[in-house]
Each structure stands twice: as structure tokens, then as C-alpha cells.
Amino acid sequence: MVVTHFLKWMNTARVSERAAAAAALARAFVNHTLAFEDRCAAEAAMTLLLDDPSSKVRQALADALSMSRQAPPQVIAALAADQPEVASLVIGRSPLVTDADLIDRVADGSLATQLLVARRASVSMAVSAALAEVGEPEACAALLHNSGAVIATLSFRRMAERHGDNATVREALIAHPMLPSDCRHLLLVRVGEALSRSPLVAAMMGRGRAERVARDACAKASIGIIERTHDEEHPALIEHLRLRGDLTTSLLVRVVAHGRVDFFGAVLVALTAQPEHRVRSILASGGDGAMRALLQGAGLAPRTHAPILRAMKVWREVAVGKRLAGVQEVSWLMLGEIGGPDADGELASLIKSIHLDALRENARGHALALAASEPVAA
């Protein structure tokens, strides 16, 4: 038999010859060019080659077998546990390596091994979870850049919690199209905290002002996150904000001023435990009494009721096509509902800042539109 002669020859061959012969035997096996009897003998021979003293021989074997589903599973398993230069070929490529094997490699392996797993052509949800739980930042970033990786919502959260301070991981998370909105908010907060702690920023504006500016920037950016959040994600984002203590009155006032009525309704459902259909009905067509009762049930202070009611009436008219209005007009009307001792209070300052931001944004957009329409001089 051909394989019998091969085994006898291997005892005296040089390392380079053995490596070339091992690769040829493996390719013949996976390409089905051997007769049945020779295939059985070839499988036995490859198993024997696992004991070759030279890693170059085992590496050649791994290279030839690593992409095939026809490779002997016991040979693949042994090669995956070999020295790094041998195991890397199998761990990074072989479709026969099980999730359990990959998870073990992630837990016990080096960064290089974790990167191999994270960069595989396909990574299951279970393996992604292992990387999210124990992977180094570089491995998590590689996983996030891998379009063949299936990543669970919980795994996104674990990576955000573990490596949210790492700029590379943070950028990869933010760029991922499947990142849940609560994770996006968590990363936003991490960036704000990092900026407020920056010695340079603190030296320029003082620690207290830096923290206020960062807090205000996070609140504004939160509206952008809410705008891009699908309705089915609202409960998770609301719970995340509530647990962090970020579901504040000021945030809800911003939400209403910006016309994020669906999100505001989801918040009211969560805070009042009222049926969703009832809350939606009140927001859509309820009278002032029902609206005030709903806001009171959500724990919103009485001083916020009038400006919120005014905003909701405007957004109702916008929704049915009776009126054209935006944040600039709505915030101005909300400001007009505040009087007496609250006229110079925090609520008035908040709504005024929303109004001024809208004015600036609209003016900027107008200026850019004018610049774009201006003909270029010849």
C-alpha cells in the first residue's frame, strides 16, 4: 500500500521532506483522491504524524487540513491543542473546531489566541459571549469588526461595561449597527466622564464647570440616541436610564420639547404602570385633567405640567397636519407657560437653553443652505 511505504520512508526522511509529504498526504485525503483502504491508512498515518518531533511537520499537516470539513476530527482536535504556530491555523480556520473548544481557548488562551477566535469567518453567539466576558480589549474590538460574528445584546453590554474606557473598543462599539441604545448611552456617559476628568479640560474651565458642561453635552446627545432608537428598544433604554439615575425631569422635558412623543409615552407607561393603550390614548387626545393626572402619576413636579401640556398640544397639531412647528417654536411656547417664582428657576433656564440651541441649529442650517445655493464666481 502507498501509505505503508510512506510510513516507512518517514522514519529516515529529513524534516523538510517529512513536512512536504505530510501536506501531500493530507491534501490527498481531503480531496478524496485515495482509495478507501488507503484513506483508512492515511487517517492512521496522520494521527501518527501528530507525534512527529518537528513542529514544522505538524504545521504542514494543520495547514493542509485546516479549511476542510473532511479532516479527521481527532487530528483537528489534537492540532488545536498544539504549539501556537500549529494551533493558530486550526483555531483560526477549521470548521470542525467546536464552540466548546473555542470557548476553552478563549478562557485559557493568550491574546493571540483570542484574536484568532475573534477573527474566524463565523463566530457563534456563544463564542462571542465568551470573548465579551473574558476577552482582552483588542480581541473584543476584533470581534466587533467581524461581520461574521453573531453578538447577543448582553454581550454588547458586557463589552461596554468592561472596556467602555478603551477608545478602540468604544469606537468599534459605537460603529456597530446592532449596538443597543442603552449601550450607546453608557458609552456616551463614559466619554463625558473621561472629558470631565481630563486635567487639560479641568485646567481650562475648572472641575465644577467641566462636569456641568459634560453633563449638559450628554443630555443633548441622549436625545440623538433616543431619536435613533426603535420602539421595541424603548423599555430597555428606559430601564437603563432609570437604574443609572439619568431618567431625570430635565431629560423628559428635553424629550417633550424635541417631539419624541413615542419615547415619552413609553416612559410614562414604565413610571405609572398604566396600560400602554391608555397612556397612548391620553397623549393623543386626552384633556388637561387626564394629562395632569398622568404626569403626576409619573412623579413629574406640578411646575412642569403646564409647559409639557403646551408642547403636547402643539405636537398633536403637527401630527395631524394642522400646524408646522419645530423645537424652536415649541420650546418658546413652553417658556411662555412658566411664570411667577419659577420664571427665573432651573426649569426656565433649561427650556431657554433648549430654545437657544434650536435657534443656533436652525441658523446654522440656514447659513449652510445659503452657502450651498450661492453660485461660484467664474
Query: Which residues have a Cβ under 8 Å from the Cβ of 171 and sit 6 or more positions away?
Result: none
pTM of the predicted model as reported, rounded to 2 decimal places: 0.64
Beta strands in the chain (DSSP E): none
SS (H, E, C) 87-137: HHHHHHHCCCCCHHHHHHHHHHCCHHHHHHHHCCCCECHHHHHHHHHHCCH
State yes or no: pLDDT of 372 exceeds 80: no
pLDDT for the residue numbered 53: 86
Measured in residues, the chain has a length of 378
* Among candidate residues 366, 365, 354, the one with its CA nearest the CA of residue 223: 354
Q: Is the distance from CB of 142 to CB of 112 less than 8 angstroms?
A: no
Using pLDDT thresholds of 50, 70 and 90, give the confidence band for residue 197: low
Report the C-alpha gap between 165 and 192 in whole angstroms: 11
Report the C-alpha gap between 190 and 364 in whole angstroms: 29
- Kindly report, residue by residue over 298-342, the tens digit of the pLDDT: 999 999 999 999 999 999 999 999 999 999 999 999 999 987 666
